[in-house]
Amino acid sequence: MIAQALAVLHPTQVRRLILCATYPGNGTTAQPSQQAIQALSSSNPQQVMADLFPSDQTAAAKSYEAALSAYPAASPAPAATVTAQANAIKQWWNGTDPAGRRANTIAIPTLIADGTLDQLDPASNSRTVARLIHRATLKLYPDAGHAFLFQDQTSLTPLIESFLGGQPKRT
């Protein structure tokens, strides 16, 4: 959402745009279930992982956990920051963020990717954004969830490298 807003508000500063598991900001968002939202913020690691990965993707989940463990522990965000972020997300989803309503003005090459089994951001949202942005390429990964970057990195990484270096590959 932030990258879309940047491309809308500062188009001369963005040459190419990559959107992963993104939402449209025009009020047509397919919102995640409240259960999925609550699971993501759960203190139960199994609930969080079930939100991010399909049950048959344990290798990807372990790769994700290993990557996270490499980062130092962070302090929790202040409550005011969490509230402000939640409000900004709701504005984007509802189409009340001015930049969100203008995704159709993005005129740069855009790569949109998501997992077809994403519980936090249904793939229909990526399809909608791809229709809104004139030069968008959409890549959906079957049997992949919200953390599809860890499930399909062997095919996603070359796609991103190709996209950033020149013409996007249509796979």
The C-alpha atoms of residue 109 and residue 162 are separated, in whole angstroms, by 12
Is the separation of the CB atoms in 103 and 132 below 8 Å? yes
Residues in the chain, pLDDT under 50: 168
Per the structure, the count of domains in the chain is 1
CA quadruple 20, 148, 95, 104: dihedral sign? positive
For residue 19, the enclosing domain spans 2-165
141 inside domain: yes
127 inside domain: yes
What does the pLDDT read at residue 170? 54
19 inside domain: yes
What does the pLDDT read at residue 168? 45
Give the orientation angle of helix 58-69 with respect to helix 45-52, to 10 degrees.
Answer: 120
Structure tokens, 55: 């049950």
DSSP label at residue 44 = -
170 inside domain: no
114 inside domain: yes
Structure tokens, 146: 């919200």
Assessment of whether the complete model's pTM goes beyond 0.85: yes
Residue type for 6, please? Answer: L
Alpha carbon 146 to its chain's center: 7
User: Which among 112, 119, 113, 124 is positioned nearest to 57, based on CA atoms?
Assistant: 119
The C-alpha atoms of residue 29 and residue 120 are separated, in whole angstroms, by 12
What does the pLDDT read at residue 166? 59
What is the domain-level CATH number for residue 79?
3.40.50.1820
159 inside domain: yes
145 inside domain: yes
171 inside domain: no
